Structure 1
Amino acid sequence: MGEEFLKAKMVVDKDFVISHIDKRIYGSFIEQLGRAVYGGIYEPDHPSADEQGFRQDVLDLVKELQVPIVRYPGGNMVSAYNWEDGIGPKEERPRRLELAWRVIETNQVGTNEFVDWAKKANAEVMMAVNLGTRGVDAARNLIEYTNHPGGTAWSDLRKQHGYKEPHNIKTWCLGNEMDGSWQMGQKTAYEYGRLAAETAKAMRQVDPTIELVSCGSSSAHMPTFRVGGNNFRSYI
């Protein structure tokens, strides 16, 4: 039995608008995986490296792509990441075994460095918080460090590190792929929903203007987060 082909004509009206598309859907992310960070965006000995060690050739390509927003520090890495390791004098930062990819994290690129890189790349920062091995306290301390103007322990520490003005990071991720068995601190939907809700509540107490992004299911073959959604939708 032979195949029958039908002819069709499609007309595209470029001026017909259904809705606004948020440019952030064209964003990207980066984490300490392979040569993405060390040897990628950051390589002080590279001929094109600037005064902070960022590769200008990579920055030029990122700017050419017009990436609107970049998530950091992960990715799988964030589920066991201690953000405090990546602030302060570089020579005093600890070297850690990074548990997602089992590599050494030198912490030479931390929170402030990434914010600087994003500005150079003309991109917004989407900062992820660790909801695997950590939770509410670490997240609210981080946003106090990045977004609070001053007069508190963490915001004043940022000033001591050379950043008098707050970074005002507006988009935040609550963990990463938390239903995945490959995550440090894997959560059920209910466990994640509860933790995400409480973390969101605390973070919004520090900065009510932020936008928060929750995790969905990591695969169509895995449980969804409907239970989780019922627990945190008031805060996200």
Structure 2
Amino acid sequence: VKDYRPHTEGQQLRILLHGPAGAGKSSFINSVQSVVRGRMYAHALVDNTSGDSFTTKYQTYKIQKGNPETFYPFVFSDIMGLERTSGVLVSDVILAMKGHVKDGYGFDLESKLSEQDGFYNRSPNLNDQVHVLVCVVPADTLAQMPEEVVKKIRNIRKEARDLGIPQVALITKVDLACPEVKKDLKNIYKSKYMKEKFSVNVGIPMNCIFPVKSYHEEIDLDDDMDSLILSTMRHIINLGDDCINFRSHSDQQEF
């Protein structure tokens, strides 16, 4: 993860996280930053009380590497969560995948981002476009996920397919859903039930679904948690790098 370098100078790999409100998108971003920087980090704000989405704006997170002016060549884009009757609009997620949404855009629950809005990026470049779409879902409420949210995830997935964007899923909070995992994180791969259920519901292949435990209540880094996070990031980076290489060797897509 630390040694990753895109083949093209100045290229950055953009990872877009989406999923139900409260799934742990911001927590995963913080966890990756904590692991690669070697200390607990909380750049992306997280809420522990509300069932609604705490993230309300489109936000890009860079990870500092070495001196303050140097960053890793991959970035995370965090968005508002999907909800049954509200939350981020599917149309805005699609615009974000195409690179049309500028940082700081406050999501409107009633209408999608307009081309006349100052936060609309009319001419997205390869760095603005998304190279990996990551769906984040919580294990402890996976069985109760509303059908409306599942449908939104499917629609986003179909659009990403048409755009040639590779997709993975993260199943978070596995320790809250499985006592055996809570007892020993190494048991996280023993049960395939949650992966199988989510794969059937939305169509993401089993080998692209990763159970993880993000840092939440811990105050020190843990080797087992780090291993899961870094293994997942390695797969995400590999998929994103393939996407970058494909786009750079083909005609620029019409967005």
TM-score bracket, shorter-length normalisation: 0.3 to 0.5
Which has the larger helix fraction?
2
**TM-score normalised to the size of structure 1?**
0.39
Q: Which has the higher contact order (CA 8 A, sep 6+)?
A: 2
**TM-score normalised to the size of structure 2?**
0.37
